């Protein structure tokens, strides 16, 4: 086990206040938009894919509304009356967003989205104290090579040591299909569908962060469990951005930037609180977690 993982259990131990974990996720998703615009050196991954992604978005939206809008209006008229036209539009946007995201992330952009996430981590690390900066470098170095002698954040990124790709989730696909009929419910159906999608998709925003931290499956489930509402807020904003026609593909990158900013904020709080946790550690904390070697290493 990497020495960067020696303190992972202090995150979920009762001696560590849960209140300091992952605060205000509703702000980080839109903050990613402003952050990328304010940091042009981080835009190349987005710009390298913008033309094919725009074409994909226009094509999928055109096909979806051409072939699915009117049939869905006909079905929804029986349940929603005059609201059927608006609800069918929201349903088409949700379906198009799901198709665009699936195709883009699996075949066109996933490596570039990871580059954006890692690039934001490196950019923000340069603003931090030396110890914390080297700690974040260490997290990234667990999964990919770093060329720290290079100038820009993206130029520092080397080849991957571990696959950064998110595996296809049959569960999420089934949940999406099963929840589509919610749109048949007048008024509350479409918003409820979006809320549930945000609940399911929120934890995926930190797929890369969880990978960098080296969490096991059980640790990942426990961490997501105690931060469930925070991920839901982030996922809700992300889904609402994703159903924006055409621009949705741009928000794949800005959401990654927002998730990375969120991760940096989490690392800052964990780092500066680690010594307080160590000094005031409960007798229940294993000695291995309060050993001198482990003291500087506070993860996730």
Q: Would 125 be classed as within a structural domain?
A: yes
Q: For residues 270 and 297, what is the distance between their CA atoms, to the nearest angstrom?
A: 9
> Residue holding tokens 């699915």?
68
Domain limits at 151? 3-289
Q: What is the pLDDT of residue 274?
A: 67
Residue 110 falls inside a structural domain = yes
- The model's pTM is 0.80
User: Would 35 be classed as within a structural domain?
Assistant: yes
pLDDT in tens, the chain (300 residues): 343 333 333 333 333 344 345 555 556 777 899 999 999 999 999 999 999 999 999 999 999 999 999 999 999 998 888 889 998 998 999 899 889 988 888 788 888 999 999 999 999 999 999 889 999 999 999 999 999 989 899 999 999 998 887 777 788 888 888 998 888 888 888 899 999 999 999 999 999 999 998 888 888 888 888 888 889 999 999 999 888 888 888 898 999 999 999 899 888 888 877 655 444 443 333 333 333 333 333 333
Phi, psi of 48 (to 5 degrees): -70, -15
For residue 27, what pLDDT is reported? 60
Q: Report pLDDT for 293.
A: 35
Q: How many domains does the chain have?
A: 1
Q: Distance between CA 273 and CA 298 in Å, rounded? A: 9
Q: Has residue 299 been placed in a domain?
A: no
What's the pLDDT at 276? 53
* Residue 294, in any domain of the structure: no
Distance of alpha carbon 192 from alpha carbon 236, whole angstroms: 11
298 within domain boundaries: no
Query: Does residue 21 sit within a domain?
Result: yes
Is residue 259 domain-resident?
A: yes
């Amino acid at each position: 086990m990497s020495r960067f993982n020696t303190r992972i259990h202090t995150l979920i131990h009762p001696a560590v206040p849960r209140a300091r974990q992952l605060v205000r996720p509703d702000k980080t998703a839109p903050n990613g938009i402003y952050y990328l615009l304010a940091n042009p050196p981080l835009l190349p991954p987005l710009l390298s894919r913008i033309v094919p992604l725009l074409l994909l978005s226009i094509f999928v939206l055109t096909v979806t509304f051409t072939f699915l809008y009117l049939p869905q209006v006909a079905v929804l008229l029986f349940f929603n009356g005059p609201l059927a036209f608006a609800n069918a539009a929201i349903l088409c946007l949700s379906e198009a967003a799901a198709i665009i995201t699936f195709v883009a992330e699996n075949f066109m952009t996933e490596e570039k989205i990871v580059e954006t996430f890692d690039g934001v981590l490196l950019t923000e690390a340069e603003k931090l104290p030396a110890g914390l900066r080297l700690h974040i470098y260490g997290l990234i170095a667990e999964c990919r090579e770093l060329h720290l002698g290079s100038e820009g954040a993206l130029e520092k990124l080397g080849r991957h040591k571990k696959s950064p790709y998110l595996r296809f989730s049959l569960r999420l696909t089934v949940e999406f299909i099963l929840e589509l009929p919610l749109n048949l419910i007048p008024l509350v159906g479409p918003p409820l569908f979006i809320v549930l999608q945000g609940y399911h998709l929120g934890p995926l925003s930190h797929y890369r962060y969880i990978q960098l931290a080296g969490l096991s499956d059980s640790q990942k489930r426990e961490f997501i469990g105690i931060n469930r509402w925070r991920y839901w807020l982030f996922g809700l904003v992300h889904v609402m951005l994703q159903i924006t026609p055409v621009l949705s593909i741009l928000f794949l990158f800005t959401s990654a930037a927002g998730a990375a900013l969120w991760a940096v904020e989490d690392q800052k709080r964990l780092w500066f609180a680690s010594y307080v946790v160590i000094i005031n550690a409960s007798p229940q904390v294993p000695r291995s977690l309060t050993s001198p070697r482990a003291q500087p290493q506070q993860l996730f």
